Every structure is written in C-alpha cells, then in structure tokens.
Structure 1
Amino acid sequence: MTQVKHIVFDIGMVLIHYDPDAAFRDIIPDATERKWFFDNVCTHDWNIEQDRGRNWAEAEALLIADFPDREHHIRAFRRNWHMMVPHSIDGSVEIMRKLIADGQDVTMLTNFASDTLREAWERYPFLTESRGVTISGDVGLLKPDKAIYDHHVATFGLEPSATLFIDDSPKNVAGAQAAGWQSIRFIDPETLKSDLGNLGIRV
C-alpha cells in the first residue's frame, strides 16, 4: 500500500454532528408524523440537491407546490438548519488539528450546501483550518460520484493512491476507493485514531 501523503476529511458526522430531527421536535412533536415528514416531504433525496447546488428558494417552491399545507414546515428546514448541527465531534477535531500540527497535508471534501457550510464556518472555525475544502454545492458534484474525487485531486494537487479519505458513509468510502484513493469509514474518534495508527500515522 502506498504511504499516505494526503488526508481528506468529510465534515458532517465526522467533524460536526448532524441531526435534522433535532430541528423539528418542537415543530412536529409527534415522532410518527415527524418521520412521515422526512420520508415524504423534506426527504434525503430532496435535500441532497441543495448539496449539489440548487438554491433554497427553488427547493422550497417545489415542495410547497406539492404540499401547500406543509409550507410552514418546509420553510422551517432551512430556517432552523442551525439546530441540526448542534455540536462538534471534539475527538475528531482534536485528531485533525494534531495531524495539521504534525505537518500532514489535510484537506476536506464534503457534500454540503454552499450557504449552510459558510454558516457552519462561522460557528465552527476549525472547519477553516485545513489547507482547503471542496464543497459539493460550489462545484455541482456529489460524493460518491468519481468526478468530485477527481476534482479534489486536481484542485489540491494530490496523488490519488497516496490520499486517505475519512467519511462516515460506506458509499462515499467506496466511491473514494473507486477513484483510486485509500479510505476508511469513520465510526468514532477512538476507532479513527486506531485506524490511522494501523497506517503508521500517530496522533
């Protein structure tokens, strides 16, 4: 296996917590109704298009046309987004900062809407401490498509076989591998520390 020269972090559920349910517990108190709302209205497939670059006004209008009685709830998704990212995953942040301090080449690659990531930067300044970040909403590409990994390589001058990707999603981990990267699935900070150690990277 090629020695790791570049380390790339995902953001959501690796460096910061993400839980859409947290923003709706007061708005839709009934858990069954709340699940129905996320399964049928503000779905994952709908939200991922904002990560691809669709603006929120268009996204909301599409849903309101189909669910006019849910307009308040639909608009609450963006309005209350800050409640969906309530805290950092401190152990992971500590690992990332140690890697940077040790001289490792650290960047980030994330599926994230352009505006909400910049909001997250203000709340979590450590998200700006790596050499740079590829934001899906800025480039119009999504993990696990190979194109976004290739874009990241070209942007930051990485050697794919010497690049290690850390992501919580099995599909995104597999996507990185298909692009010629090394990758590990993030479980928790302690497991990440162990996985890095197995690759000869001490933190």
Structure 2
Amino acid sequence: MNIEAVIFDIGNVLIEWQPERYYDRVIGEERRRAIFDAVDLHKMNDRVDRGENFRDVIYETADAHPEIRDDIRRWHDNWIEMASPAIDHSVRLMRALQSAGVPVFALTNFGVESFAYAQTHYDFLNKFDRAYVSGHMKVIKPDPEIYAQVEADCGIAPGRLLFADDRADNIEAAAARGWQTHLFEGPQGWADRLVSEELLTREQAE
C-alpha cells in the first residue's frame, strides 16, 4: 500500500531527549538516582504532555519536595539543555521527504509551552505539514485516542501512514490501528526504511 504521509515522533527521533544524562552531567549520577527514586519526574512530565502548564506543574512538584526543590526546577529552567542536540540525519530525512513531495507530520508527546519554546530553538519544528502535539490534544501516546485524532484530522487511511517512534509501546498502539510503523533505533535504520519504501533514493537519504 502506498504511503501518503510520514509521521515523525520528536523526542529521540529528531531531538535527543535524555533528562538523566543532563542531570548526571550537572549534579552527578548518584544524586540524580536519589532524586529520580524519590520523585517520578517522568510522570510529572506526562502531566505537561497532557496539556497542563509547563512551569506550574514543575514548580508545584518542586515545592512539594523542598529538600530537592532546586534540582526539580532544573527540569523547567534548563529544559532546552535536556532536549538537545538535534539528530541531524533525521532532520535531513525530514527535509528530503518534503523536498520529494511527501507530507511529513509530527506526532509527539510534548507540552504546549515546551513545544513552543523548542520551536524557537529548532526551526525545523516549524516546518511540519501537520504537527500533532499531545499538549494541545489533551492525550498522550500510546493512548489509542491520540491516533484516532490524527486519523480524523488528516483524513488519510491508517495503512497509508508510516510512523517512526523510539518507543515500542507507541509503535504497537499505532500498528494496532493499521498504521505502518518503524521502531526508531537510529537514523540510518530509518533512512534504510524510507529507501525500501521508495519514498527516498539512497542519495536523498544520506
């Protein structure tokens, strides 16, 4: 079945998202482990991704844990350092697809304010043909509802969507709806898949 649109996740597909790496660098692995054991910061971030206010959620969580308040606030105050760097080859693939006339969408778990901030830092985040951002949609992957919203909005049959994501649970949820999928483990594998689908030539996928 011919692909009519390619859908990119953002975190760890177009931009590296490794909060633990950031904290290890800034405060050391031992302290980071203690903080992450005490407070589920990824669960905190899920609230942001569902549409709650970026600063409010993080500062509220920080204030509930005064002994590590400043460390939790880093999640907001130094957020762009966690959401970096861009994965350059993936960005080139996105641009190559669009240059070849293939629509490129985003489907991402991302907060409203944090996505707007990221757009000021990474211009390619402004270039999607359609951007499906969980914070605006009020639901996060892998909830089937987020995929249903994409289908309803774009009007493309599920089997004609090709979706790349680094998380197996997100991929499995999309596949269950009939989407074509690719588990992203690095940009070269993604490039190879796009070539095999005849969406890009080998030269275009470099």
**Would you call these one fold, judging by a TM-score over 0.5?**
yes
Q: Report the CA distance between 1:62 and its aligned residue.
A: 3.8
2:193 maps to which of 192, 195, 200: 195
Change (3 A) 1:43 1:200: same
Match of 1:21? Answer: 20
**1:32-181 pair list within 5 angstroms:** 32-55=30-53, 56-65=55-64, 67-181=65-179
Distance 1:27 1:6 in 2: 40
What one-letter code is carried by the residue in structure 1 that aligns with 2:10? I
Q: Which digits, 9 at most, give the CA deviation of each residue in 1:164-189, with x for residues without a partner?
A: 10111111111111122111011111
Secondary structure of the residue that 1:75 maps to in structure 2? helix
**Residue type matched to 1:74 in 2?**
I
Structure 1 gaps, min length 5: none
- What is the root-mean-square deviation of aligned Cα atoms in Å? 1.6
Do the aligned partners of 2:22 and 2:82 also contact (CA within 8 Å) in 1? yes
Counterpart AA for 1:145: D
Query: Unpaired segments of 5 or more residues in structure 2?
Result: none
In the other structure, the counterpart of 1:7 is: 6
Contact 2:58–2:72, Cα closer than 8 Å, also in 1: no
TM-superposition CA deviations, 1:86-129 (whole Å, max 9, x none)? 21100011111000000001111000111111111111111111
Aligned residues: 200
| Superposition TM-score, scaled by structure 1 size | 0.92
Q: Distance in 2 between matches of 1:43 and 1:9?
A: 24
Q: State the distance in 2 between where 1:134 and 1:62 align.
A: 27
Q: CA deviation at 1:42?
A: 4.5
Alignment partners' CA distance in 1, 2:99 and 2:26: 43
* Aligned equivalent of 1:183, options 181, 184, 201: 181
- What TM-score, normalized to structure 2? 0.90
Which residue identity does 1:174 align to in structure 2? E
